[in-house]
């Protein structure tokens, strides 16, 4: 069985989410042959050189899972888009591009964090463009850790106050953008996170959109194997 999760938003504190997620990883090899993490595993990521107890525990548990034979994949979220090659090699996770397509039992499954579909939020898309180019990333990663932490905190509080003034539907995915992508690529199942609005939606042509939930009061995982799928939630 394959497991798909996103939006765990781990912080450097021991809260329910960190406990529940470490617990999930400890048991994951019983259930999954592959685990796909579709972004925002961490609440923020300022570079692979940062270390704290949350990060080291997650790394340890991910690499143990890989040792147990579970294949691990990651797609960047908007919060942890700076996760890089060192994190990937420390944990044996493979980083995939956004909109990666997997072919499974004659089904095409497209994976995304989901923010690329939020095309109505033009301020956010502008910000994303500015921060996802190699020169911005290079100059950010050159700064000392404490300065990067300060910038990340500042970005988070600015985005929080900007988002509180935006109408809800602006921050949701644009249905047209989703449908176009599904139809153009002949996708059977699109799986994404980001919006924190979990749902399974069927399109007229039989394609399915799965939106993963964020780990707050509940944890969420989409489970898929050849003859069934299920968007599962569990109390944490
Ligand atoms: Mn997100």
Rounded CA-CA distance 158/226 in Å is 44
Q: What Cα–Cα distance (Å) separates residue 178 from each residue in 67, 114, 121, 212, 213?
A: 36, 9, 15, 15, 17
Asked whether the predicted pLDDT for residue 165 surpasses 90, the reply is no
Provide the pLDDT for residue 191. Answer: 98
Other CB atoms within 10 Å distance of the CB of residue 219: 21
Provide the pLDDT for residue 173. Answer: 96
Does the reported pTM lie above 0.95?
yes
Distance 39 CA to ligand 1 centre (A): 7
Could you report the per-residue pLDDT of 8-36, keeping only the tens digit for each?
Answer: 999 999 899 999 999 999 999 999 999 99
Q: What Cα–Cα distance (Å) separates residue 149 from each residue in 26, 62, 99, 167?
A: 30, 24, 29, 29
Distance 7 CA to ligand 1 centre (A): 6
Q: Which domain holds residue 231?
A: 2-235
Distance 56 CA to ligand 1 centre (A): 22
Distance 92 CA to ligand 1 centre (A): 23
CATH at residue 85: 3.60.21.10
Distance 76 CA to ligand 1 centre (A): 9
Distance 116 CA to ligand 1 centre (A): 10
In the chain, the number of structural domains is 1
């Amino acid at each position: 069985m394959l497991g798909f999760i996103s939006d765990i938003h781990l912080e450097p504190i021991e809260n329910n989410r960190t406990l529940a997620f470490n617990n999930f990883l400890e048991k994951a090899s019983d259930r999954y042959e592959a685990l796909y993490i579709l972004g925002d595993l961490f609440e923020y990521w300022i570079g692979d050189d940062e270390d704290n107890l949350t990060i080291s525990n997650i790394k340890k548990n991910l690499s143990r899972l890989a040792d147990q034979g579970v294949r691990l994949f990651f797609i960047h979220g908007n919060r942890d888009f700076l996760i890089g090659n060192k994190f990937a090699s420390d944990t044996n996770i493979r980083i995939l591009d956004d909109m990666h397509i997997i072919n499974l039992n004659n089904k095409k499954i497209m994976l995304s964090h989901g923010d690329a579909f939020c095309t109505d939020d033009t301020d956010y898309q502008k910000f994303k463009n500015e921060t996802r180019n190699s020169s911005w990333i290079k100059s950010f990663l050159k700064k000392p850790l404490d300065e990067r932490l300060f910038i990340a905190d500042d970005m988070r509080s600015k985005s929080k106050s900007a988002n509180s003034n935006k109408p809800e539907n602006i921050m949701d995915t644009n249905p047209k953008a989703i449908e176009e992508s599904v139809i153009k690529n002949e996708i059977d199942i699109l799986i994404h996170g980001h919006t924190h609005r979990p749902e399974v939606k069927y399109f007229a042509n039989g394609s399915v959109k799965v939106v993963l939930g964020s780990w707050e009061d509940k944890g969420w995982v989409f489970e898929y194997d050849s003859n069934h799928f299920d968007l599962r939630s569990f109390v944490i």
